[in-house]
Amino acid sequence: MWLTRPLRERSTQIFLGVLFAALAIVTFLHVAMPEDSALYVSAYTVTLLGKYLCYALLAVAVDLVWGYLGILSLGHGAFFAIGGYAMGMYLMRQIGDRGTYGDPILPDFMVFLNWQELPWYWLGFDMAWFAFIMVLLAPGLLALVFGFLAFRSRVTGVYLSIITQALTFALMLAFFRNEMGFGGNNGLTDFRDILGFNLRTDATRLGLFIATGIALAIGYVICRGIVTSKLGRVSIACRDAEARARFLGYRVDRVQLFVFVVSAMLAGVAGALYVPQVGIINPSEFSPLFSIEVVVWVALGGRATLYGAVIGAVLVNYAKTVFTGVMPDAWLFALGGLFVLVTVFLPKGIAGLLASRRKGKQDEQDTPTAPSTTEATA
């Protein structure tokens, strides 16, 4: 089975081992340590780590299409945000009549703007199962339609990157409009419960953190399963020489479409887990800047390695937390410098550094090689 194959892989075992160990340690330190202990991990930190893990899952999704399919998506933030909105809508409906205006059905911002009834696309979001399906389905569907049109007409390379950017930009403008019924610039906030658990308790926060860790593990295994399967090899062929793969008889557009949709769904899940932890979803998640930033996490960590994406996401975001606290002015310099240095001097990222060190000791057998630095754009 393609899903179990990765579990026998050394690299996946190490990754899962490290991930679960980290989850266990954080949980232990949070629950068992007294609050004044130096080793105590506060709820604040747990949530922060949960956020990093969401970003890591998003980065894995981006790496799947960029590293193994050669599609530089500058619009994955859109799928992330749509997943987040699906979750946000569920959480909004869970508020029920505890909102400021006490309306049992309409969220506060709708009462506020004199909406008379719930728009049709909000229906069903009071049920968890429906919302959770939409978390997968909504981004997946968007990716399906967009990808179908794009891959069928062989839009590739730079053009594809730019229209993914246009996609997320257009969605951002659309979601900013209050007429859309998603709360406009204020977005969705003031969440209370998820599946009956109070979101404002530390126990729920820990639960969400662990759930995110598990989602990341599953997402990682799925991606790993795809890239080591036959489909994965074909997609790598598409990445390195699209025309040749096509001439050999592979339906390149179908492969691209499948992987693109899976990646969008993973991004959606990441968004859905992100929203209850940070407590707000607003259209700025659609901003093109955020999507490009995600690409840099992947580039820093190392493209086409998956675990590199995780390392990159966690490192950059940790640096961001530290920098914006200590010297806010320097953060953009650091981030900008990172973009330049990584692309010029570290084309294979941190994972590339690790791999080159390891290479002397043992040969990698099952790992597909990282993409060649010169890629065909036509």
Instruction: Work out whether 339 is an interface residue with other proteins (CB under 8 A).
Output: yes
Q: Return the residue of 7, 25, 123, 332 that touches other proteins, per CB under 8 A.
A: 332
Q: Return the residue of 7, 14, 32, 149 that touches other proteins, per CB under 8 A.
A: 149
Angle between helices 288-301 and 43-69 (to 10 degrees): 80
Stretch 258-287 residues interacting with other proteins (CB under 8 A): 278-280, 282, 284
- Residue 191: both structure tokens together: 């969440």
Please report, for residues 242, 304, 320, the alpha-carbon distance to residue 19 in angstroms, rounded to integers and kept in the order given.
Answer: 35, 19, 21
- Residue 117: both structure tokens together: 């009834």
DSSP 320-364: HHHHHHH-HHHHHHHHHHHHHHHHHH-TTHHHHHHHHHHHTT---
Q: Return the residue of 40, 128, 347, 368 that touches other proteins, per CB under 8 A.
A: 347
Select 164 or 228, whichever has its Cβ closest to other proteins: 164
Instruction: Work out whether 288 is an interface residue with other proteins (CB under 8 A).
Output: yes
Instruction: Work out whether 356 is an interface residue with other proteins (CB under 8 A).
Output: no
Instruction: Work out whether 67 is an interface residue with other proteins (CB under 8 A).
Output: no
Stretch 93-122 residues interacting with other proteins (CB under 8 A): 97-102, 109, 111-114
Binding-site string for other proteins from residue 30 to residue 49, where x marks contact by CB under 8 A and - marks none:
------------xxx--xx-
Stretch 311-330 residues interacting with other proteins (CB under 8 A): 324-325, 328-329
Cβ atoms < 10 Å from Cβ of 10: 12
Only segment of 15-23, 159-167, 219-227, 251-259 that touches other proteins (CB under 8 A): 159-167
- Strands 193-194 and 197-198: what pairing? antiparallel
Query: How far is Cα 245 from Cα 137, in angstroms, rounded to an integer?
Result: 30
Q: How far is the CB of 215 from other proteins (least distance, A)?
A: 19
Q: Return the residue of 126, 190, 193, 240 that touches other proteins, per CB under 8 A.
A: 190
Instruction: Work out whether 191 is an interface residue with other proteins (CB under 8 A).
Output: yes
Residue pair 284/80 in contact by the 8 Å Cβ criterion:
no
Helix (H, G, I), strand (E, B) or coil at 250: coil
Only segment of 16-24, 220-228, 332-340, 352-360 that touches other proteins (CB under 8 A): 332-340
Residue 67's φ and ψ, nearest 5 degrees, are -75, -40
